[in-house]
Homo-oligomer: A and B are copies of this chain.
Amino acid sequence: MAEENTVFIGNKPVTAYVMACVTQFNRDADSIVLKARGRAISRAVDVAEVLRRRFMKDRVDVTDIQIDTEQIETREGNLSNVSAIEITITKL
């Protein structure tokens, strides 16, 4: 249930993730969590800002932002630390 409302931010254009969020909100999601790691973090902030200021202006807002450190396995099999962000966007 919770996973349903999660949008993982990767290397696609910002608009692709904005559209994924709009679709989920139109399917009756009350809130969505944007998750990103490493360099995609700034794109997650872009998605949140474009949503609340343009595509869903006055209809959604950012209600929580958490940052964390995650361990990922590199191609060589070593563990590496990477920063992560979770931005919660909620219908008003």
Does B83 lie within 8 Å of A67, measured CB to CB?
Answer: no
Does B62 lie within 8 Å of A49, measured CB to CB?
Answer: no
Question: Which chain B residues border A53 with CB–CB below 8 Å?
Answer: 69
> Would you give the shortest CB distance from A39 to chain B, in whole angstroms?
5
* Known A62-B67, A69-B53; contact A83-B45, beta-carbon cutoff 8 A: yes
Question: Which chain B residues border A45 with CB–CB below 8 Å?
Answer: 41, 67, 83-85
Does A65 lie within 8 Å of B68, measured CB to CB?
Answer: no
CA distance A61 to B41 in the complex (A): 20
Question: Which chain B residues border A83 with CB–CB below 8 Å?
Answer: 42, 45-46, 49
> Would you give the shortest CB distance from A65 to chain B, in whole angstroms?
4
A interface residues, Cβ below 8 angstroms from B: 38-42, 45-46, 48-49, 53, 62, 65-69, 81, 83-85, 87
